[in-house]
Structure 1
Amino acid sequence: MTINLMDVVGRISYKCDILFRVIDIKEENGRKKVVLYGEDFRLIADAPYEDLLLIDQMKRMELTQEFRSLEEQSFRLFKQDIDLLKQRQEYDTTEGYKMKVNYFQLPGRVLHIDGDPSYLKKCLSLYEKIGIPVTGIHCNEKEMPQRISHLIEYYRPDILVITGHDAYSKSKGAIGDINAYRHSKFFVQTVREARKRIPNLDQLVIFAGACQSHFESLIHAGANFASSPSRVNIHALDPVYIVAKISFTPFMERINVWDVLRNTLTGEKGLGGIETKGILRTGMPFHSENQK
Protein backbone atom coordinates (compact mmCIF):
# COMPACT_ATOMS: atom_id res chain seq x y z
CA MET A 1 0.00 0.00 0.00
CA THR A 2 1.37 3.38 -1.04
CA ILE A 3 0.12 6.56 0.60
CA ASN A 4 0.48 9.85 -1.27
CA LEU A 5 -0.22 13.54 -0.62
CA MET A 6 -3.95 14.39 -0.33
CA ASP A 7 -4.94 10.75 0.21
CA VAL A 8 -7.64 10.18 2.84
CA VAL A 9 -6.42 7.90 5.63
CA GLY A 10 -7.20 6.67 9.13
CA ARG A 11 -4.85 5.92 12.04
CA ILE A 12 -4.79 2.20 12.80
CA SER A 13 -3.79 2.80 16.43
CA TYR A 14 -6.96 4.92 16.87
CA LYS A 15 -9.18 2.42 15.01
CA CYS A 16 -9.59 4.95 12.19
CA ASP A 17 -11.97 7.01 14.34
CA ILE A 18 -11.22 10.22 12.41
CA LEU A 19 -10.58 10.64 8.70
CA PHE A 20 -7.52 12.69 7.73
CA ARG A 21 -6.00 14.15 4.58
CA VAL A 22 -2.27 13.62 4.04
CA ILE A 23 -0.64 17.06 3.88
CA ASP A 24 3.04 16.24 4.14
CA ILE A 25 5.30 13.16 4.16
CA LYS A 26 8.80 13.55 5.56
CA GLU A 27 11.59 11.27 6.69
CA GLU A 28 13.13 11.50 10.17
CA ASN A 29 15.85 9.14 11.37
CA GLY A 30 15.13 6.70 8.57
CA ARG A 31 11.34 6.57 9.28
CA LYS A 32 8.53 8.23 7.39
CA LYS A 33 6.40 10.69 9.36
CA VAL A 34 3.13 12.03 7.98
CA VAL A 35 1.35 15.32 8.73
CA LEU A 36 -2.44 14.98 8.71
CA TYR A 37 -5.38 17.38 8.56
CA GLY A 38 -8.81 16.23 9.77
CA GLU A 39 -11.48 15.87 7.09
CA ASP A 40 -14.37 16.93 9.33
CA PHE A 41 -12.58 18.20 12.44
CA ARG A 42 -10.20 21.16 12.62
CA LEU A 43 -7.40 18.92 13.89
CA ILE A 44 -3.78 18.58 12.83
CA ALA A 45 -1.82 15.46 13.75
CA ASP A 46 1.44 13.63 13.12
CA ALA A 47 1.56 9.87 12.57
CA PRO A 48 4.08 7.20 11.56
CA TYR A 49 3.62 6.13 7.94
CA GLU A 50 3.08 2.50 8.97
CA ASP A 51 0.20 3.47 11.31
CA LEU A 52 -1.93 4.73 8.42
CA LEU A 53 -4.62 2.94 6.49
CA LEU A 54 -5.75 4.20 3.09
CA ILE A 55 -9.54 4.73 3.07
CA ASP A 56 -11.28 4.04 -0.23
CA GLN A 57 -14.33 5.96 -1.49
CA MET A 58 -16.90 3.38 -0.33
CA LYS A 59 -15.43 3.25 3.19
CA ARG A 60 -15.25 7.06 3.31
CA MET A 61 -18.95 7.33 2.51
CA GLU A 62 -19.75 4.81 5.22
CA LEU A 63 -17.62 6.55 7.86
CA THR A 64 -18.85 10.06 7.00
CA GLN A 65 -22.55 9.21 6.86
CA GLU A 66 -22.97 9.93 10.57
CA PHE A 67 -21.27 13.33 10.24
CA ARG A 68 -23.43 14.30 7.25
CA SER A 69 -26.53 13.36 9.24
CA LEU A 70 -25.37 15.49 12.19
CA GLU A 71 -24.64 18.40 9.85
CA GLU A 72 -28.12 18.20 8.36
CA GLN A 73 -29.74 18.02 11.80
CA SER A 74 -27.71 20.97 13.06
CA PHE A 75 -28.59 23.01 9.98
CA ARG A 76 -32.32 22.28 10.38
CA LEU A 77 -32.29 23.37 14.03
CA PHE A 78 -30.25 26.44 13.18
CA LYS A 79 -32.59 27.35 10.28
CA GLN A 80 -35.54 27.16 12.68
CA ASP A 81 -33.75 29.60 15.01
CA ILE A 82 -33.04 32.04 12.19
CA ASP A 83 -36.62 31.83 10.88
CA LEU A 84 -37.95 32.59 14.38
CA LEU A 85 -35.60 35.58 14.67
CA LYS A 86 -36.83 36.90 11.30
CA GLN A 87 -40.49 36.38 12.20
CA ARG A 88 -40.04 38.19 15.51
CA GLN A 89 -38.25 41.04 13.78
CA GLU A 90 -41.06 41.31 11.21
CA TYR A 91 -43.64 41.33 14.01
CA ASP A 92 -41.82 44.13 15.87
CA THR A 93 -41.21 46.20 12.72
CA THR A 94 -44.84 46.05 11.61
CA GLU A 95 -46.17 46.64 15.15
CA GLY A 96 -47.75 43.20 15.33
CA TYR A 97 -48.52 43.00 11.58
CA LYS A 98 -50.77 46.09 11.89
CA MET A 99 -48.72 48.16 9.46
CA LYS A 100 -47.56 47.41 5.96
CA VAL A 101 -43.90 48.34 6.04
CA ASN A 102 -41.32 47.90 3.31
CA TYR A 103 -38.14 47.35 5.27
CA PHE A 104 -34.71 45.88 4.66
CA GLN A 105 -32.17 44.18 6.90
CA LEU A 106 -28.41 44.37 7.09
CA PRO A 107 -26.87 41.25 8.67
CA GLY A 108 -23.33 41.42 10.00
CA ARG A 109 -20.53 41.32 7.42
CA VAL A 110 -18.05 38.51 8.04
CA LEU A 111 -14.33 38.25 7.36
CA HIS A 112 -13.40 34.57 7.65
CA ILE A 113 -9.67 33.81 7.75
CA ASP A 114 -8.93 30.10 7.54
CA GLY A 115 -5.73 28.06 7.57
CA ASP A 116 -7.35 25.34 5.47
CA PRO A 117 -8.61 26.14 1.92
CA SER A 118 -10.83 23.04 1.87
CA TYR A 119 -12.60 24.00 5.12
CA LEU A 120 -12.87 27.60 3.97
CA LYS A 121 -14.66 26.46 0.82
CA LYS A 122 -17.14 24.40 2.89
CA CYS A 123 -17.77 27.34 5.22
CA LEU A 124 -18.27 29.83 2.38
CA SER A 125 -20.84 27.49 0.84
CA LEU A 126 -22.77 27.40 4.14
CA TYR A 127 -22.56 31.19 4.59
CA GLU A 128 -24.05 31.59 1.11
CA LYS A 129 -26.79 29.06 1.88
CA ILE A 130 -27.73 30.98 5.03
CA GLY A 131 -27.50 34.40 3.38
CA ILE A 132 -24.61 36.03 5.24
CA PRO A 133 -22.32 38.52 3.44
CA VAL A 134 -18.81 37.10 3.78
CA THR A 135 -15.27 37.46 2.51
CA GLY A 136 -13.08 34.38 2.84
CA ILE A 137 -9.28 34.52 2.99
CA HIS A 138 -6.99 31.49 3.06
CA CYS A 139 -3.96 32.23 5.22
CA ASN A 140 -1.38 30.03 6.95
CA GLU A 141 -1.92 30.17 10.72
CA LYS A 142 1.64 31.42 11.35
CA GLU A 143 1.12 34.38 8.97
CA MET A 144 -2.21 35.53 10.43
CA PRO A 145 -0.79 37.94 13.07
CA GLN A 146 1.13 39.85 10.40
CA ARG A 147 -1.78 40.09 7.95
CA ILE A 148 -4.80 40.72 10.18
CA SER A 149 -4.43 44.48 10.66
CA HIS A 150 -4.39 45.20 6.93
CA LEU A 151 -7.28 42.79 6.27
CA ILE A 152 -9.47 44.46 8.91
CA GLU A 153 -8.68 47.91 7.55
CA TYR A 154 -9.44 46.84 3.98
CA TYR A 155 -12.62 44.77 4.53
CA ARG A 156 -14.01 46.49 7.68
CA PRO A 157 -15.98 43.47 8.94
CA ASP A 158 -18.56 43.35 11.73
CA ILE A 159 -17.54 39.78 12.59
CA LEU A 160 -14.09 38.24 12.34
CA VAL A 161 -13.43 34.48 12.21
CA ILE A 162 -9.86 33.28 12.86
CA THR A 163 -9.55 29.54 12.46
CA GLY A 164 -7.71 26.66 10.82
CA HIS A 165 -6.03 23.70 12.49
CA ASP A 166 -4.72 23.17 16.00
CA ALA A 167 -3.85 20.38 18.45
CA TYR A 168 -2.65 19.95 22.04
CA SER A 169 0.39 17.74 22.62
CA LYS A 170 0.88 16.42 26.15
CA SER A 171 4.54 15.65 25.35
CA LYS A 172 5.20 19.38 24.78
CA GLY A 173 3.85 20.64 28.09
CA ALA A 174 0.97 20.95 30.54
CA ILE A 175 -2.53 21.75 29.32
CA GLY A 176 -2.16 25.34 30.52
CA ASP A 177 1.07 25.91 28.56
CA ILE A 178 0.22 27.61 25.26
CA ASN A 179 3.50 26.40 23.78
CA ALA A 180 2.12 22.85 23.97
CA TYR A 181 -0.40 23.75 21.25
CA ARG A 182 0.29 23.66 17.51
CA HIS A 183 -1.25 26.99 16.48
CA SER A 184 -3.01 28.50 19.54
CA LYS A 185 -0.29 31.10 20.09
CA PHE A 186 -0.73 32.37 16.54
CA PHE A 187 -4.50 32.61 16.97
CA VAL A 188 -3.95 34.52 20.24
CA GLN A 189 -1.48 36.92 18.58
CA THR A 190 -3.96 37.49 15.74
CA VAL A 191 -6.79 38.32 18.15
CA ARG A 192 -4.53 40.77 20.01
CA GLU A 193 -3.56 42.51 16.77
CA ALA A 194 -7.23 42.76 15.79
CA ARG A 195 -8.09 44.27 19.17
CA LYS A 196 -5.34 46.88 18.78
CA ARG A 197 -7.30 48.16 15.79
CA ILE A 198 -10.85 47.70 17.17
CA PRO A 199 -10.86 47.26 20.99
CA ASN A 200 -14.64 47.33 21.45
CA LEU A 201 -16.05 43.79 21.86
CA ASP A 202 -19.36 44.76 20.26
CA GLN A 203 -17.92 46.82 17.41
CA LEU A 204 -15.99 43.81 16.12
CA VAL A 205 -17.16 40.35 17.22
CA ILE A 206 -14.38 37.74 17.06
CA PHE A 207 -14.49 33.96 16.92
CA ALA A 208 -11.07 32.31 17.20
CA GLY A 209 -9.64 28.81 17.50
CA ALA A 210 -9.75 25.29 16.12
CA CYS A 211 -9.55 21.75 17.53
CA GLN A 212 -8.24 21.58 21.11
CA SER A 213 -7.23 25.28 21.09
CA HIS A 214 -6.29 27.14 24.30
CA PHE A 215 -9.74 28.62 25.02
CA GLU A 216 -8.81 30.77 28.02
CA SER A 217 -5.95 32.55 26.25
CA LEU A 218 -8.14 33.35 23.25
CA ILE A 219 -10.89 34.85 25.42
CA HIS A 220 -8.38 36.87 27.47
CA ALA A 221 -6.79 38.14 24.24
CA GLY A 222 -10.15 39.61 23.21
CA ALA A 223 -12.19 36.94 21.41
CA ASN A 224 -15.96 36.93 22.02
CA PHE A 225 -16.19 33.23 21.23
CA ALA A 226 -13.46 30.60 21.05
CA SER A 227 -12.56 26.93 21.18
CA SER A 228 -11.96 24.61 22.96
CA PRO A 229 -12.95 24.74 26.69
CA SER A 230 -12.56 20.98 27.19
CA ARG A 231 -9.77 20.66 24.60
CA VAL A 232 -11.93 18.50 22.34
CA ASN A 233 -12.14 18.52 18.55
CA ILE A 234 -14.52 20.97 16.90
CA HIS A 235 -16.37 20.42 13.65
CA ALA A 236 -15.24 22.31 10.55
CA LEU A 237 -18.57 24.16 10.25
CA ASP A 238 -19.06 25.15 13.91
CA PRO A 239 -17.68 28.70 13.47
CA VAL A 240 -20.32 29.38 10.80
CA TYR A 241 -23.22 28.47 13.10
CA ILE A 242 -21.90 30.76 15.84
CA VAL A 243 -21.32 33.64 13.43
CA ALA A 244 -24.72 33.26 11.77
CA LYS A 245 -26.55 33.49 15.10
CA ILE A 246 -24.70 36.74 15.87
CA SER A 247 -25.19 38.11 12.38
CA PHE A 248 -28.99 37.67 12.47
CA THR A 249 -29.59 38.84 16.05
CA PRO A 250 -30.72 42.52 16.23
CA PHE A 251 -28.04 44.88 17.53
CA MET A 252 -30.25 46.02 20.43
CA GLU A 253 -30.35 42.47 21.84
CA ARG A 254 -27.73 40.58 23.78
CA ILE A 255 -27.05 36.98 22.91
CA ASN A 256 -27.18 34.32 25.58
CA VAL A 257 -24.07 32.15 25.12
CA TRP A 258 -26.05 28.92 25.41
CA ASP A 259 -28.40 30.08 22.62
CA VAL A 260 -25.37 30.34 20.36
CA LEU A 261 -23.87 26.97 21.30
CA ARG A 262 -26.89 24.71 21.49
CA ASN A 263 -27.26 24.03 17.75
CA THR A 264 -23.56 23.67 16.97
CA LEU A 265 -22.18 20.22 16.23
CA THR A 266 -19.67 20.33 19.10
CA GLY A 267 -21.56 22.11 21.89
CA GLU A 268 -20.18 23.64 25.10
CA LYS A 269 -17.28 21.18 25.44
CA GLY A 270 -15.71 22.46 22.27
CA LEU A 271 -17.00 26.04 22.11
CA GLY A 272 -17.58 28.88 24.55
CA GLY A 273 -17.79 32.62 24.81
CA ILE A 274 -19.02 35.75 26.53
CA GLU A 275 -22.25 37.72 26.38
CA THR A 276 -22.28 39.67 23.12
CA LYS A 277 -24.60 42.08 21.29
CA GLY A 278 -26.19 41.10 17.99
CA ILE A 279 -25.27 42.76 14.69
CA LEU A 280 -28.46 42.85 12.54
CA ARG A 281 -29.86 46.28 11.69
CA THR A 282 -33.26 46.98 10.15
CA GLY A 283 -33.93 49.95 7.88
CA MET A 284 -36.75 51.40 5.78
CA PRO A 285 -38.13 52.08 3.29
CA PHE A 286 -37.17 49.32 0.90
CA HIS A 287 -37.57 50.06 -2.83
CA SER A 288 -36.87 47.27 -5.25
CA GLU A 289 -35.68 48.06 -8.77
CA ASN A 290 -39.07 47.00 -10.10
CA GLN A 291 -41.01 49.51 -8.00
CA LYS A 292 -41.99 52.78 -9.68
Structure 2
Amino acid sequence: MRRTIRGWGPPLLLISPSLILIGVFVYGLIAINAYTSMTDMHTAAQTTGRAPVAFVGLANYWDLLGSDSFQHSLKNLALYTVVFLAGTMVFGFLWAWMLDRPVKGEGVFRSIYLFPMAVSFIASGVVWRWLLNSNTGDKASGLNRLFQMVGLDFLQNGWWNNVNFGITAIAIPAIWQLAGYVMALFLAGFRGIPEELREAARIDGASEWQLYRLVVFPQLTPIALSAVIVIGHMSLKVFDLIMSISKPANYQTKVPAIDMFLFKSEYDYASSAAVGVILLVIVAILIIPYLVHVARSGRR
Protein backbone atom coordinates (compact mmCIF):
# COMPACT_ATOMS: atom_id res chain seq x y z
CA MET A 1 0.00 0.00 0.00
CA ARG A 2 2.83 2.38 0.91
CA ARG A 3 4.54 1.60 -2.39
CA THR A 4 1.33 2.45 -4.24
CA ILE A 5 1.05 5.80 -2.41
CA ARG A 6 4.69 6.56 -3.08
CA GLY A 7 4.22 5.69 -6.73
CA TRP A 8 1.18 7.94 -7.12
CA GLY A 9 2.46 10.71 -4.85
CA PRO A 10 4.82 12.61 -7.20
CA PRO A 11 2.46 12.54 -10.22
CA LEU A 12 -0.46 13.77 -8.09
CA LEU A 13 1.72 16.48 -6.56
CA LEU A 14 2.78 17.56 -10.03
CA ILE A 15 -0.76 17.90 -11.40
CA SER A 16 -2.37 19.12 -8.18
CA PRO A 17 -2.24 22.85 -9.16
CA SER A 18 -4.14 22.06 -12.35
CA LEU A 19 -6.63 19.88 -10.47
CA ILE A 20 -7.26 22.65 -7.95
CA LEU A 21 -7.73 25.28 -10.64
CA ILE A 22 -10.09 23.05 -12.63
CA GLY A 23 -12.00 22.14 -9.47
CA VAL A 24 -12.48 25.78 -8.48
CA PHE A 25 -12.89 27.59 -11.79
CA VAL A 26 -14.70 24.86 -13.78
CA TYR A 27 -16.66 22.52 -11.53
CA GLY A 28 -16.95 25.02 -8.70
CA LEU A 29 -18.42 27.70 -10.97
CA ILE A 30 -20.71 25.12 -12.61
CA ALA A 31 -22.03 24.28 -9.13
CA ILE A 32 -22.55 27.97 -8.30
CA ASN A 33 -24.33 28.49 -11.63
CA ALA A 34 -26.58 25.49 -10.99
CA TYR A 35 -27.47 26.83 -7.54
CA THR A 36 -28.19 30.30 -8.94
CA SER A 37 -30.51 28.75 -11.52
CA MET A 38 -32.64 27.38 -8.66
CA THR A 39 -33.12 30.71 -6.89
CA ASP A 40 -35.45 33.66 -7.52
CA MET A 41 -32.62 36.08 -8.37
CA HIS A 42 -34.52 38.00 -11.06
CA THR A 43 -33.89 41.64 -10.13
CA ALA A 44 -30.97 44.04 -9.81
CA ALA A 45 -31.75 44.49 -6.10
CA GLN A 46 -31.30 40.77 -5.47
CA THR A 47 -28.13 40.73 -7.56
CA THR A 48 -26.52 43.46 -5.45
CA GLY A 49 -27.70 41.95 -2.16
CA ARG A 50 -30.27 44.65 -1.34
CA ALA A 51 -33.12 42.14 -1.49
CA PRO A 52 -33.40 38.57 -0.16
CA VAL A 53 -32.89 35.59 -2.43
CA ALA A 54 -34.98 32.44 -2.00
CA PHE A 55 -34.48 28.88 -3.24
CA VAL A 56 -37.21 27.89 -5.74
CA GLY A 57 -35.96 24.53 -7.00
CA LEU A 58 -36.74 23.74 -10.63
CA ALA A 59 -39.35 26.49 -11.06
CA ASN A 60 -37.11 28.54 -13.36
CA TYR A 61 -36.61 25.54 -15.64
CA TRP A 62 -40.33 24.87 -15.91
CA ASP A 63 -40.97 28.55 -16.67
CA LEU A 64 -38.31 28.56 -19.38
CA LEU A 65 -39.34 25.31 -21.02
CA GLY A 66 -42.98 26.39 -20.95
CA SER A 67 -42.23 29.76 -22.53
CA ASP A 68 -43.07 30.18 -26.22
CA SER A 69 -40.07 32.46 -26.62
CA PHE A 70 -37.59 29.91 -25.25
CA GLN A 71 -39.22 27.11 -27.24
CA HIS A 72 -38.62 29.26 -30.33
CA SER A 73 -34.97 29.57 -29.31
CA LEU A 74 -34.65 25.80 -28.94
CA LYS A 75 -36.29 25.30 -32.33
CA ASN A 76 -33.86 27.78 -33.90
CA LEU A 77 -30.94 25.98 -32.24
CA ALA A 78 -32.11 22.63 -33.64
CA LEU A 79 -32.52 24.06 -37.16
CA TYR A 80 -29.15 25.78 -37.04
CA THR A 81 -27.41 22.65 -35.75
CA VAL A 82 -28.92 20.39 -38.44
CA VAL A 83 -28.10 22.77 -41.33
CA PHE A 84 -24.65 23.62 -39.96
CA LEU A 85 -23.72 19.98 -39.37
CA ALA A 86 -25.02 18.79 -42.73
CA GLY A 87 -23.35 21.61 -44.66
CA THR A 88 -19.93 21.32 -43.03
CA MET A 89 -19.87 17.53 -43.25
CA VAL A 90 -20.96 17.38 -46.89
CA PHE A 91 -18.72 20.17 -48.20
CA GLY A 92 -15.80 19.18 -45.99
CA PHE A 93 -15.95 15.58 -47.19
CA LEU A 94 -16.32 16.53 -50.87
CA TRP A 95 -13.38 18.94 -50.74
CA ALA A 96 -11.23 16.34 -48.96
CA TRP A 97 -12.21 13.68 -51.49
CA MET A 98 -11.29 15.96 -54.40
CA LEU A 99 -7.95 16.88 -52.85
CA ASP A 100 -7.19 13.24 -52.10
CA ARG A 101 -7.19 12.59 -55.84
CA PRO A 102 -4.27 13.94 -57.91
CA VAL A 103 -4.95 17.70 -58.27
CA LYS A 104 -2.56 20.35 -59.55
CA GLY A 105 -2.12 23.25 -57.16
CA GLU A 106 -3.38 21.27 -54.18
CA GLY A 107 -1.61 23.61 -51.74
CA VAL A 108 -3.42 26.63 -53.20
CA PHE A 109 -6.83 24.97 -52.95
CA ARG A 110 -6.12 23.73 -49.43
CA SER A 111 -5.14 27.24 -48.35
CA ILE A 112 -8.28 28.72 -49.91
CA TYR A 113 -10.51 26.22 -48.13
CA LEU A 114 -8.75 26.68 -44.79
CA PHE A 115 -8.48 30.49 -44.94
CA PRO A 116 -11.98 31.20 -43.52
CA MET A 117 -10.94 29.44 -40.30
CA ALA A 118 -8.46 32.26 -39.65
CA VAL A 119 -11.26 34.85 -39.68
CA SER A 120 -13.20 35.48 -36.49
CA PHE A 121 -16.97 35.05 -36.48
CA ILE A 122 -17.36 38.74 -35.64
CA ALA A 123 -15.32 39.86 -38.66
CA SER A 124 -17.00 37.48 -41.08
CA GLY A 125 -20.40 38.33 -39.59
CA VAL A 126 -19.99 41.99 -40.52
CA VAL A 127 -19.44 41.02 -44.17
CA TRP A 128 -22.21 38.44 -44.20
CA ARG A 129 -24.62 40.95 -42.66
CA TRP A 130 -24.33 42.91 -45.91
CA LEU A 131 -24.44 39.81 -48.11
CA LEU A 132 -27.58 38.56 -46.39
CA ASN A 133 -29.38 41.88 -46.55
CA SER A 134 -33.13 41.33 -46.87
CA ASN A 135 -33.88 44.36 -49.07
CA THR A 136 -35.30 43.57 -52.51
CA GLY A 137 -36.17 45.54 -55.63
CA ASP A 138 -34.43 48.90 -56.10
CA LYS A 139 -32.94 48.74 -52.60
CA ALA A 140 -31.53 45.23 -53.02
CA SER A 141 -27.93 44.63 -51.98
CA GLY A 142 -25.67 41.69 -51.26
CA LEU A 143 -26.84 38.33 -52.57
CA ASN A 144 -30.30 39.66 -53.41
CA ARG A 145 -28.70 42.25 -55.68
CA LEU A 146 -26.56 39.54 -57.30
CA PHE A 147 -29.64 37.41 -58.00
CA GLN A 148 -31.33 40.47 -59.48
CA MET A 149 -28.38 41.19 -61.78
CA VAL A 150 -28.24 37.65 -63.18
CA GLY A 151 -32.00 37.38 -63.68
CA LEU A 152 -32.70 35.05 -60.73
CA ASP A 153 -35.08 37.37 -58.92
CA PHE A 154 -37.12 34.43 -57.63
CA LEU A 155 -34.19 33.50 -55.37
CA GLN A 156 -34.38 36.80 -53.50
CA ASN A 157 -35.65 36.35 -49.95
CA GLY A 158 -35.61 37.82 -46.48
CA TRP A 159 -32.66 35.68 -45.34
CA TRP A 160 -32.30 35.97 -41.55
CA ASN A 161 -35.41 38.18 -41.30
CA ASN A 162 -37.62 35.16 -42.00
CA VAL A 163 -39.46 34.38 -38.73
CA ASN A 164 -39.62 30.60 -39.15
CA PHE A 165 -36.37 29.76 -40.97
CA GLY A 166 -34.21 32.88 -40.62
CA ILE A 167 -31.72 31.03 -38.44
CA THR A 168 -30.84 28.72 -41.34
CA ALA A 169 -29.43 31.76 -43.19
CA ILE A 170 -27.02 32.28 -40.28
CA ALA A 171 -25.75 28.75 -40.89
CA ILE A 172 -24.49 29.74 -44.37
CA PRO A 173 -21.52 31.85 -43.13
CA ALA A 174 -20.86 29.25 -40.41
CA ILE A 175 -20.62 26.53 -43.06
CA TRP A 176 -18.34 28.73 -45.19
CA GLN A 177 -16.09 29.28 -42.18
CA LEU A 178 -15.76 25.75 -40.80
CA ALA A 179 -16.18 23.43 -43.79
CA GLY A 180 -12.43 23.82 -44.33
CA TYR A 181 -11.77 22.47 -40.83
CA VAL A 182 -13.84 19.36 -41.55
CA MET A 183 -12.02 19.06 -44.89
CA ALA A 184 -8.68 19.03 -43.05
CA LEU A 185 -9.92 16.26 -40.74
CA PHE A 186 -11.18 14.09 -43.59
CA LEU A 187 -8.08 14.78 -45.70
CA ALA A 188 -5.89 13.59 -42.83
CA GLY A 189 -8.07 10.47 -42.67
CA PHE A 190 -7.73 9.86 -46.42
CA ARG A 191 -3.95 10.30 -46.27
CA GLY A 192 -3.72 8.01 -43.24
CA ILE A 193 -5.13 5.00 -45.12
CA PRO A 194 -2.20 2.83 -46.31
CA GLU A 195 -1.91 2.61 -50.07
CA GLU A 196 -1.39 -1.14 -49.68
CA LEU A 197 -5.02 -1.55 -48.63
CA ARG A 198 -6.24 0.19 -51.76
CA GLU A 199 -3.93 -1.80 -54.00
CA ALA A 200 -5.02 -5.08 -52.37
CA ALA A 201 -8.68 -4.19 -52.97
CA ARG A 202 -7.98 -3.36 -56.62
CA ILE A 203 -6.09 -6.63 -57.09
CA ASP A 204 -9.10 -8.49 -55.66
CA GLY A 205 -11.21 -6.92 -58.40
CA ALA A 206 -12.95 -4.18 -56.40
CA SER A 207 -14.36 -1.30 -58.45
CA GLU A 208 -13.59 2.28 -57.46
CA TRP A 209 -16.97 2.59 -55.71
CA GLN A 210 -16.46 -0.72 -53.86
CA LEU A 211 -12.99 0.44 -52.86
CA TYR A 212 -14.40 3.54 -51.21
CA ARG A 213 -17.49 1.84 -49.75
CA LEU A 214 -15.73 -1.21 -48.29
CA VAL A 215 -12.21 0.06 -47.57
CA VAL A 216 -11.96 3.85 -47.40
CA PHE A 217 -15.27 4.92 -45.83
CA PRO A 218 -15.08 2.50 -42.85
CA GLN A 219 -11.62 3.87 -42.07
CA LEU A 220 -13.09 7.40 -41.96
CA THR A 221 -15.83 6.59 -39.44
CA PRO A 222 -13.82 7.77 -36.37
CA ILE A 223 -12.92 10.97 -38.23
CA ALA A 224 -16.56 11.63 -39.11
CA LEU A 225 -17.65 11.00 -35.53
CA SER A 226 -15.03 13.40 -34.18
CA ALA A 227 -16.06 16.06 -36.70
CA VAL A 228 -19.74 15.68 -35.74
CA ILE A 229 -18.89 16.08 -32.04
CA VAL A 230 -16.68 19.16 -32.56
CA ILE A 231 -19.00 20.92 -35.02
CA GLY A 232 -22.12 19.91 -33.09
CA HIS A 233 -20.81 21.33 -29.82
CA MET A 234 -19.76 24.55 -31.57
CA SER A 235 -23.22 24.95 -33.06
CA LEU A 236 -24.90 24.61 -29.66
CA LYS A 237 -23.07 27.61 -28.22
CA VAL A 238 -23.30 29.89 -31.27
CA PHE A 239 -23.44 33.51 -30.15
CA ASP A 240 -20.96 35.92 -31.74
CA LEU A 241 -21.92 35.14 -35.35
CA ILE A 242 -25.59 35.83 -34.65
CA MET A 243 -24.78 38.98 -32.70
CA SER A 244 -22.71 40.38 -35.58
CA ILE A 245 -25.27 39.59 -38.30
CA SER A 246 -28.60 40.34 -36.64
CA LYS A 247 -29.60 42.56 -33.77
CA PRO A 248 -29.06 41.05 -30.29
CA ALA A 249 -32.78 41.01 -29.49
CA ASN A 250 -33.90 39.86 -32.95
CA TYR A 251 -36.63 37.27 -32.43
CA GLN A 252 -36.03 35.55 -35.79
CA THR A 253 -32.49 34.44 -34.97
CA LYS A 254 -32.77 34.01 -31.20
CA VAL A 255 -31.07 30.94 -29.68
CA PRO A 256 -30.51 29.93 -26.02
CA ALA A 257 -27.08 31.62 -25.88
CA ILE A 258 -28.71 34.91 -26.92
CA ASP A 259 -31.41 34.39 -24.27
CA MET A 260 -28.72 33.85 -21.66
CA PHE A 261 -27.05 37.14 -22.64
CA LEU A 262 -30.33 39.07 -22.63
CA PHE A 263 -31.41 37.70 -19.25
CA LYS A 264 -28.07 38.70 -17.76
CA SER A 265 -28.38 42.19 -19.27
CA GLU A 266 -31.73 42.52 -17.44
CA TYR A 267 -30.18 41.30 -14.14
CA ASP A 268 -32.26 38.14 -14.34
CA TYR A 269 -29.36 35.99 -13.21
CA ALA A 270 -31.50 33.00 -12.24
CA SER A 271 -33.02 32.60 -15.71
CA SER A 272 -29.64 33.23 -17.34
CA ALA A 273 -28.05 30.53 -15.18
CA ALA A 274 -30.91 28.14 -15.98
CA VAL A 275 -30.32 28.61 -19.72
CA GLY A 276 -26.63 27.88 -19.14
CA VAL A 277 -27.45 24.63 -17.32
CA ILE A 278 -29.84 23.58 -20.10
CA LEU A 279 -27.09 24.18 -22.69
CA LEU A 280 -24.65 22.21 -20.54
CA VAL A 281 -27.07 19.28 -20.39
CA ILE A 282 -27.58 19.37 -24.17
CA VAL A 283 -23.81 19.39 -24.74
CA ALA A 284 -23.38 16.55 -22.22
CA ILE A 285 -26.00 14.47 -24.04
CA LEU A 286 -23.93 14.90 -27.21
CA ILE A 287 -20.45 14.48 -25.69
CA ILE A 288 -20.82 11.76 -23.03
CA PRO A 289 -21.81 8.93 -25.43
CA TYR A 290 -18.80 9.85 -27.57
CA LEU A 291 -16.47 9.75 -24.55
CA VAL A 292 -17.90 6.38 -23.49
CA HIS A 293 -17.38 5.06 -27.03
CA VAL A 294 -13.77 6.29 -27.06
CA ALA A 295 -13.10 4.77 -23.64
CA ARG A 296 -14.50 1.40 -24.68
CA SER A 297 -12.54 1.46 -27.93
CA GLY A 298 -9.34 2.15 -26.00
CA ARG A 299 -9.85 -0.94 -23.85
CA ARG A 300 -10.11 -3.28 -26.82
Which structure has the larger Rg?
2
Q: TM-score, normalised by structure 2?
A: 0.25
* Structure with greater helix share of residues: 2
* Structure with greater strand share of residues: 1
Q: TM-score, normalised by structure 1?
A: 0.25
Higher relative contact order, structure no. (Cα contacts within 8 Å, ≥ 6 residues apart):
2
